[in-house]
Amino acid sequence: MRATTIHAPGDIRLEERPAPTITAPHQAVVKVLAGCICGSDLWPYRGENPIDAGATIGHECVGVIEEVGADVRSFRPGDFVIVPFVHCDNTCPHCAAGMTSACRHQGFTSSGQAEYSLVHQADGSLVKTDGMPDDSLIPSLLTLSDVMATGWHAAVAAGVTEGSTAVVVGDGAVGLCGVLAAVELGAERVVAMSRHEPRQKIAEQFGATHIVAERGEEGEQAVLDLTDGVGADAVLECVGNDPAIQTAFKVARPGSTVGFVGVPHGIELPVRRMFGKNIGLAGGMAPVRTYLPDLLDRVLSGRIDPGLVFDLTLPLDEVADGYRAMDERRAIKVLLRP
Amino acid sequence: MRATTIHAPGDIRLEERPAPTITAPHQAVVKVLAGCICGSDLWPYRGENPIDAGATIGHECVGVIEEVGADVRSFRPGDFVIVPFVHCDNTCPHCAAGMTSACRHQGFTSSGQAEYSLVHQADGSLVKTDGMPDDSLIPSLLTLSDVMATGWHAAVAAGVTEGSTAVVVGDGAVGLCGVLAAVELGAERVVAMSRHEPRQKIAEQFGATHIVAERGEEGEQAVLDLTDGVGADAVLECVGNDPAIQTAFKVARPGSTVGFVGVPHGIELPVRRMFGKNIGLAGGMAPVRTYLPDLLDRVLSGRIDPGLVFDLTLPLDEVADGYRAMDERRAIKVLLRP
């Protein structure tokens, strides 16, 4: 099959690789209809994460079941499925508590930017639609594989409630989905911290009530001014680097929680501020499967359209261009069609 | 008046100081009936915090109103009051949200180990009893000034719920009060990590169902074994140093929260574990006033007896001996009678 591989920073290739095969009875092989590039794929692309040269890359996809292992009960070839980037059995104690991303049989999608992908715990992980969805829904369904569920997790972890003021730090696709999640969870005011006009527009389409374009101290002051100096009731940290973390804790009101979902890179938590102001930190790798049924309902009913985060669609053959476009911030998020 | 002062590490004195006087209309002066030594007083005593040589020390007390400022409406001389260590107006936005320790008019008790103490926001901060309480209640009432409310905050921040398994890291007076709080909040299993027999006994009196005497990896494994490898639903970190923090995050189940109330000293938060396992951190300086009415009810009704944490009572004149006893762990917590 054709699969995206990474060889070194900046070196993304589409190469021939053996298609995955079933090696355990609870697995399934999915023929990928759409995959995409994640902000977290840019860490190795930029040389900020170690690289296993020649390994496949890509952890988000939707597609059609190609083959299932002997123990798979709920799916059969031809089913359209959303593949959470983190696989789970959905029965272990962690899954039962809703923390499916910490499943005892945790697995990961490893060839989402390819023609086929292997799912380790098919019954526990996958969610299917009734029949083939309309092609126009593919982008939004694809976001449920990671980015929309991750933005949702940020909002849940931050404790967004009805009538609250939420601030979203980061205007990548996750941050934009965080805006949408905060709106859906009832926030009355949603402040998107974004200095890029195309992203500001999507944030507004998703329901952001305020845009703060300034960064650093200026941006923090702007948020404090918006909240009479009190700070936000909930802060979604959707980047993962230190400036974003510091801003998140600066704009969070005492007693609130920063929900973080950006894989942390070189961050130093302001522990004395956290203690003195009682500002908590919650979140982490999103339990995608936990949120999937609810999010799928919202997409299928037309209530949310998170697929708007895709502003560039490329054939899989042009995946390297897709990485460049995201790296250079010419694209928010790139959808790939095998 | 006689007041406890600190001059250098290990140098605690009882000296003559001017009694506090009203300098603003919302203040009150309290004649101290009982004060005590806090674990956090040991930080400067041990030279681990900067010292303002000759300054008074002590932030916990109960007593009788001596004098009130012109704007004080709810209290008058003779009222028996509990003095939260952190003062608040109880009306600002942070107070209204329950985060009274972040009040915009925040103040602190600064001569709790003395004959008199000044309260900056008397109406917002103090809570009185109907008439003079029985002398036998003084120790428990005194704990509401800080230690019991702080243990309570750890349990609330950690999200202890009915039927849960809670682990308390730290067997100082705060940790012991944390055990009591977790029991009161409905935890079915409360694991006290303690290797000191007298403290283990109080933990059991407070309702601990399990004692883990081991420390470090052994102690962590013991907790994991108790929970079938899952980890605790809620962890109360009641020390504030790095080993305690690391243990807290090791024994917390994915998706749970570590409630921390020990003033952090040299801790490094395990951010990658927090992210990968979705283990949150919440807590900080306890909003004592917020919890006071409820805790006072529990004490007055005889439901809880947190005063058991005082295992040594000394006249104020012997305060220096009290510090030594706590520093050498001969006493859990020392009550001082002026």
Which fold is adopted by the domain B148-283? Rossmann fold (3.40.50)
Residues A26, A71 contacting (CB under 8 angstroms): yes
Which pLDDT does position A125 carry in this prediction?
98
Of all residues in chain A, what percent carry a pLDDT higher than 70? 100
Q: Which residues contact B96 (CB under 8 A, 6 or more apart)?
A: none
In angstroms, the CA A269 to CA A253 distance is 16
Which chain B residues have a beta carbon less than 8 Å from that of A99? 253-255, 278
In angstroms, the CA B149 to CA B82 distance is 12
In angstroms, the CA A128 to CA A331 distance is 29
Which of B89, B83, B186, B91 lies closest to B129 in space, CA to CA?
Answer: B83
pLDDT tens track for A227-275: 999 999 999 999 999 999 999 999 999 999 999 999 999 999 999 999 9
For chain A, the structural domain boundaries read: 2-146+287-337, 150-283
**Residue A93 tokens, joined:** 């104690």
Which pLDDT does position A276 carry in this prediction?
97
In angstroms, the CA A135 to CA A140 distance is 10
Are the Cβ atoms of B280 and A94 closer than 8 angstroms?
A: no
pLDDT tens track for B182-194: 999 999 999 999 9
Pick from B99, B101, B275: which is nearest to A264 by CB?
B275
Asked if A93 has any chain B CB less than 8 Å from its own CB, the reply is yes
Residue A97 amino acid letter: A
Which fold is adopted by the domain A2-146+287-337? Quinone Oxidoreductase; Chain A, domain 1 (3.90.180)
pLDDT tens track for B96-133: 999 999 999 999 999 999 999 999 999 999 999 999 99
- What ipTM does the predicted assembly reach? 0.97
Cβ-based neighbour number of residue B64 at 10 Å: 15
Which pLDDT does position B218 carry in this prediction?
97
For residue B241, give the DSSP letter: S
Asked if B224 has any chain A CB less than 8 Å from its own CB, the reply is no
Residues B106, B92 contacting (CB under 8 angstroms): no
Helix (H, G, I), strand (E, B) or coil at B212: strand
Are the Cβ atoms of B278 and A101 closer than 8 angstroms?
A: yes
Give the pLDDT band of residue A189 (cuts 50, 70, 90). very high
Strand-pair partners of B68: B28
Average pLDDT in chain B: 97
Average pLDDT in chain A: 97
Task: List strand residue ranges (DSSP E) for B238-333, in order.
Answer: 252-260, 280-283, 312-315
Determine the distance in angstroms separating the CA of A310 from the nearest CA of chain B, rounded to an integer.
Answer: 26
- Mean pLDDT of the region B303-311: 98
Q: Let me know how many helices (H) and strands (E) chain B has, helices first.
A: 12, 18
Give the pLDDT band of residue A65 (cuts 50, 70, 90). very high
**Residue A70 tokens, joined:** 């002997």
- Mean pLDDT of the region B202-230: 97
Judged on CB neighbours under 10 Å (0-12, 13-18, 19+), B217 is exposed
Q: Select the CATH number that applies to the domain covering A150-283 from these four: 3.40.718.10, 3.30.590.20, 3.40.50.720, 3.30.470.20.
A: 3.40.50.720
**Residue A106 tokens, joined:** 């945790």
Which pLDDT does position B107 carry in this prediction?
98
Which pLDDT does position B123 carry in this prediction?
98
In angstroms, the CA B98 to CA B117 distance is 25
Nearest 5 degrees, angle CA A322-CA A114-CA A112? 85
For residue A132, give the DSSP letter: P
**Chain B CA closest to residue A262:** B275
Are the Cβ atoms of A284 and B287 closer than 8 angstroms?
A: no
pLDDT tens track for A317-328: 999 999 999 999
Neighbour order of strands in the sheet with A252-260? A210-212, A189-193, A165-169, A232-237, A252-260, A280-283, B280-283, B252-260, B232-237, B165-169, B189-193, B210-212
pLDDT tens track for A91-114: 999 999 999 999 999 999 999 999
- Mean pLDDT of the region B23-30: 98
**Residue A34 tokens, joined:** 């759409």
